[in-house]
Every structure is written in C-alpha cells, then in structure tokens.
Structure 1
Amino acid sequence: MDDGERKSTRLRQIFSRKGQPVMHVASAPTAYAARMIEKAGFEYIFLGGDVTFGTMLAMPGTYLTMTEKVFIAKFFVRAVSLPVVMDCDEVCGRGPAFLERAVEEYIGIGLAGMDIDDRIFPEGSGAANVDREHGIRMGVVPTEEMVEKIRAASLIRQKLDPDFVIRVRCYDFHGDTPLEKIIERLQRYEEAGADVLYLGGVSSPEDTRTTVSALKVPCTVPATWMTYELASKLNLCEYRQPYELEMAMHAAGWEFLSDFQKNGTDAVRRLRERFLGNPYMAAPELLRTNVI
C-alpha cells in the first residue's frame, strides 16, 4: 500500500474484487480485539451496534448518541492500520440531517466506511435498557425516506472523502414483501449512492443470486447457511460471520469462570495447560505473583 493511500480507498478496493470475497468472520468487541483481528490477517475492522457497543457497554448501539460512538471509535481507528467501518444505527429512524452529520463526524475521525440500516427500532418505554441489540424488528422505513437519507449521506461524502464507503442494510427480506419489490427498493438505494448492499434476511442462495444479478454494486449476505465457497459462486463481496470472535471470547470466559467458581486453583491450571503457547496467554514466569 502506498503511504498516501486512504483507508477508505483500500476498503473500496476490497469490496470491489470479483470472485474473491473478503473474509470477514469477526466484528471487534474491543480495540484490543481489533488488534487481534489485524494480527490474524483479516482485512478490515467492523464496529457493530451489538458486537462492539453491546459488548462494551451492555446496551444496544442504537441508543448511544453520535458523540458517544465517535468518542469510542477513535480508539479503534488509532489501534489498527486496517480500514475501520462503523454501524450508524444511532440515526435509524431519523432524518437526512443526522446522516449528514454522521458522515462528517465519521470521516473526521478516520473511519473508512459506515453501515446505514433501513430497520425501524423499538422506541417504547424500557427499550434502551436491554443488554444487547433487540431481536424485534418493527419493519422498515419507506423507500423514498431511505433514498433521501442515502442521497444526503452520499453528497456529504463526495465533498469530504469520495472513497468513503456507504454500505446500506436492507431488512425488507424479513417481511412479506415480494422479492421483485425488494429488488426495486435496492435499486433505488443503489441509485441514491449506496456503494455496497447488505441483504439482511435473504433466505436462500436462489433469492440471493436473483437479487445480486439485478444490482450493479457489491453485495454481502449475513446468513448462517453461507459458506465462503458459496459466497464466491454467488459473486458476493464478502463472507460475513461477524459474531464468532465475540462468542468465542465470552464462551471461553464463562467456561473458565464457572470452572474457577467450582474448582479454584485446578481451574487455573487447566486454563494454562489448555492455552499453553498461545500468544495471548502469559507464561507463568511472567505473571506478577509477588504483588502484595
């Protein structure tokens, strides 16, 4: 990479490769985890409303303010040399002005791209007091409203960093909308300035193939039935399994805590034996055991 190359330019190139989807199997729960992802050889970092903000703060990213998210994102951008993308779910359901402000702030701190949702999130009493992202989907915003927001974000992007990537998530697949109508919605997103389209909830390879073939911009599909080989055949820009690192970290942590609560020192010994030689496990001789 040239020293003067923007991270947004590199991200755009990653998503534009034909027949070679980027391997994205881990969103970053923390800035230290982002460094692990970089060290492991992955190509970009994603800050998700659930994996990142739900894990760090035990509340959905939807209910954080833009100021809070920008403050946190700075640490991730500084921690790695990879492009960093952040979920812009704090502006879900809000007007174009909030998208314009988000693009200004995100580009200003060095982010390479952003995700914009067309979901409508719960706003009733108590909705912000859950630990993680809501599984409830209240529907999607009207197409024209979403197009106006994408267009506003794209115009600001063109002024500040033309390569800044706007990835738009469409969740209309979760409802009863016919596939041809969903494709029409996605084509409008594309015309408004979406650089990548995220097909949230598409249920089969056949529907994915039909949708992707009708679009010009790269597409990604977050599906448990997806494999890297299938993503390549479907001409997707990404193989996406974003929860796995977070689940591995917390599942291993819970396993150890349960064992330690029950067995004490034996649990510590088993932990050290299990991860002997792991670069993220300190050798016993390096532990500060003489601290009072």
Structure 2
Amino acid sequence: MTDQATKAARFRALHERPEPFLLPNPWDAGTARLLAGLGFDALATTSLGVANLVGRTRASRQEILDNCRAINDATPLPVNADLENGFADDPADAAKMIELAYTAGAVGASIEDCTADRGAPIYDFGLSVDRVRAAVETARALPVPFVLTARAENLLYGVGDLGDTIRRLQAFEEAGADVLYAPGLRTLDEMRTVVSAVGKPVNVVMGFADPSITLEQLAEIGVRRVSIGGALSRLALKSFMDGARQMRAGRFGFVTDLIPISELYRAFQQ
C-alpha cells in the first residue's frame, strides 16, 4: 500500500507539471478501481455521487468521510476529497473537516463558499475568505503536503458574475489556497479569463461546461486540473434508469450494452 506522504507528494507534483491532468470522480470502491485500471493519476470524491449512493440529494458529513476512506483504500492513487462547505459556517469549525479528510486518507480537499441555504446560497466575501484562510492553516499543519482547493460557487447559483467570481478566487489565492476552482464556467473564454487572472493552478469541472471543449484546448489556456464532478455518477444512473424503463416495458435490449464480466474480474481482482 502506498503511504500517504508519497501520495501527497505525487498529487502536488501533478499540479506542477506543464500539462493538465484528469481528475475523475468515482463514488465507491468499485468505480475507483475501474478508474485506476484505466490509468488515471489521481481520483476525487464527489459529494453528489455519495448522496446518490445513499438515495438522497445531499450526503452527511460522516457519509462523505466514510466514502473518502473507502475510495482511498480501494487503490494506491492520491485522493482529493469534496468536503462541500465543511458542514459548518464558522471558519474554524469548517476547517476541522480538512483534518478529518486527511485522517480518512485524502491528500487534498476542497472547501466551498456555498452555504447550503437556498435563501442565501453564498457566504459574504469576508467570511468566505476567512473560511479559506482557516482551511489553509489547518492544511499547512498536517504532516504531508496537503493540497487545499478553494471553490467559488456563485456561478452555480446566479449570485454575482464572473468578475465577482474572479475577485473571490484572487482573495482565496492571497489567503494561501493551492488550487482555485469556480464550478459553472461554461466557455473556453470564461476559463481563459479566470486562468489569466490568478497565479495558482485552476481546476475546471467539465460537468457544467461546453462538452465540445477538448483537453488540448484546456492545456493551451493554462488549465492545470480537469474534473467531472458528479457527472459519471449521473451517467451511470441514467443508464440504470434507461435499462429499468426498458425492463418495465417488457423489453431487454439493454443487455447488449453490458460491461463484460471478464472486465470486472480484471478490475476487481485482489
């Protein structure tokens, strides 16, 4: 088993190479092993995928941590944890999730400025920065080079504009975040504008973006990390529902699209 310090060093090094790396999001041990078998360099958890796994739209704090540990234990790859907003408003309380994620095996984690309150979905600017600063302090105190990602979520909620997003990302960078992330960027021009406005590596999530954008184009504008969020989980659920609807209608053509059992054996053998 690869030790956590080695995983941490490997994960940080991925952000320092000139070309972007792909960071797919499994939602359990099985999907983690399938992705590892395809040759990905690292994995990231998805809170939406965890929620879907337990039949809800939002997972609990403990469910997210347990999922992080399960995915970490499934492969020797570095794991980045999606911690949502840290399950707390207070900066110090939210930052405790960073240490808990590390204890669960993660070598990186993200904290976001979404409140989980539909009436006021985004923390105000000052509190958002304080929360990132507290998360950075906790990450720096860990015994490995833990990668802290700060997320500006306002584009997903129609709060503010691209200028406000950049202002937040710049403040998060100044507070010490290692990676900057604004889910909801849709076009290559928006992504280029963000990348050029900050000095730290930028993560782009393609689950919300123009799907015609290629990895080569992302590399050309300086993106350093490319994730997919809960998209693979949603894709799997769509396939499940399509097959179930066919079965309910008395048709079984979906069996021609099944993954071969031999491929599962190869992926899951210990």
Superposed pair shares fold, TM > 0.5: yes
Q: CA deviation at 1:192?
A: 0.9
More divergent stretch after superposition (76-85 vs 249-258): 249-258
| Residues in 1 aligned to 2:234 and 2:161: alpha-carbon distance in whole angstroms | 34
Give the residue type in structure 1 aligned to 2:51. G
* Structure 2 residue 150 is matched with structure 1 residue 168: yes
The root-mean-square deviation of aligned C-alpha atoms, in Å, is 2.7
Unaligned runs of 5+ in 2: 266-270
More divergent stretch after superposition (31-40 vs 3-12): 3-12
Say if 2:147 and 2:179, in contact at 8 Å, map to a contact too: yes
Residue number in structure 2 paired with 1:60: 57
Say if 1:34 and 1:79, in contact at 8 Å, map to a contact too: yes
Say if 1:227 and 1:239, in contact at 8 Å, map to a contact too: no
More divergent stretch after superposition (215-224 vs 92-101): 92-101
| Residues in 2 aligned to 1:60 and 1:229: alpha-carbon distance in whole angstroms | 33
SS at match of 2:22: strand
Question: How high is the TM-score relative to the length of structure 2?
Answer: 0.83
Q: Identify the match of residue 169 of structure 2 among 183, 186, 200.
A: 186
Q: CA deviation at 1:240?
A: 2.9
| Residues in 1 aligned to 2:120 and 2:9: alpha-carbon distance in whole angstroms | 35
Unaligned runs of 5+ in 1: 123-135, 283-292
Deviations 1:54-91 (A, max 9, x none): 22112234x513x3332332211111111111111152
Q: How many pairs align?
A: 259
Same amino acid, percent of matched pairs: 22
Deviations 1:135-181 (A, max 9, x none): x6844212221121111111122221351111111123354635444
SS at match of 2:166: helix
Greater gyration radius:
1
Residue number in structure 1 paired with 2:41: 43
| Residues in 1 aligned to 2:16 and 2:250: alpha-carbon distance in whole angstroms | 52
| Residues in 1 aligned to 2:7 and 2:64: alpha-carbon distance in whole angstroms | 19
Say if 2:166 and 2:197, in contact at 8 Å, map to a contact too: yes
Question: How high is the TM-score relative to the length of structure 1?
Answer: 0.78
Q: 1:281 to 1:39 in 2, by over 3 A?
A: closer
* Structure 2 residue 210 is matched with structure 1 residue 210: no
| Residues in 2 aligned to 1:276 and 1:106: alpha-carbon distance in whole angstroms | 32
Residue number in structure 1 paired with 2:72: 77
Q: Identify the match of residue 122 of structure 2 among 119, 123, 140.
A: 140
Q: 1:263 to 1:194 in 2, by over 3 A?
A: same
